[in-house]
Structures are given as C-alpha cells and as structure tokens.
Amino acid sequence: MTSHHGDPIRIALLGSTGSIGTQTVDVVRAHPDRFRLIAIAAGTNAQLLEAQIAEFRPQVASLDCDAEIEVPPQTQLLRGSAGLI
C-alpha cells in the first residue's frame, strides 16, 4: 500500500500516545518504506509525544497541555485545538 508514485503514504495521526495511536506508530515503525508520519497530536502525555517526535521527525506536532518538551528545528509544535486543526 504505497502511493501511486511508490513514495511512502503520509499520515497525520491524532491521538498518537493513546492505545490505538501507539499501535499505529508500531505499524509505521515496522514499515518505514510504506508509511511516513508527517503530523502527530497528543493530549497530555508529553513525555511519549517527545519520544515520538524525536524518532519520526514529523513536520507538525500538537500537544494539548503546557508541558515543556524539546522538538527538533524541523518540527513545528502547536498547542491546544490549533494543533488539531
């Protein structure tokens, strides 16, 4: 399941730190040639989101709390509902 050009399918994942989200992350991790996380969003699990950002380097990440996390320069960090939009 790749795009018609053979490039990885780009995924925006809401709830990346929840149970279904972490299972989805596992699938992406197992098939990096088929999938690419370009945007991820989490509620309040800042520590896990920070680890996911470090591993997958998405273009955009969203966190629905004020916890301080480190993000690489290529990742734009948004807060609250603005990140989900």
pTM, to two decimals: 0.89
Tokens linked to 24: 């989805």
pLDDT at 84 over 90: no
pLDDT per residue as tens digits for the range 3-52 = 556 899 999 999 999 999 999 999 999 999 999 999 999 999 999 999 99
Among the residues of 14-66, which ranges form H helices? 19-30, 46-56
Total Cβ atoms within 10 A of residue 40: 28
Query: Which domains, and CATH codes, for the chain?
Result: 9-84 (3.40.50.720)
Determine the pLDDT at residue 4. 58
- Residue holding tokens 């990140």? 83
- pLDDT band with cut points at 50, 70 and 90 for residue 83: confident
Between 17 and 1, name the one with better pLDDT. Answer: 17
Q: How far apart are CA 25 and CA 31, in angstroms?
A: 10
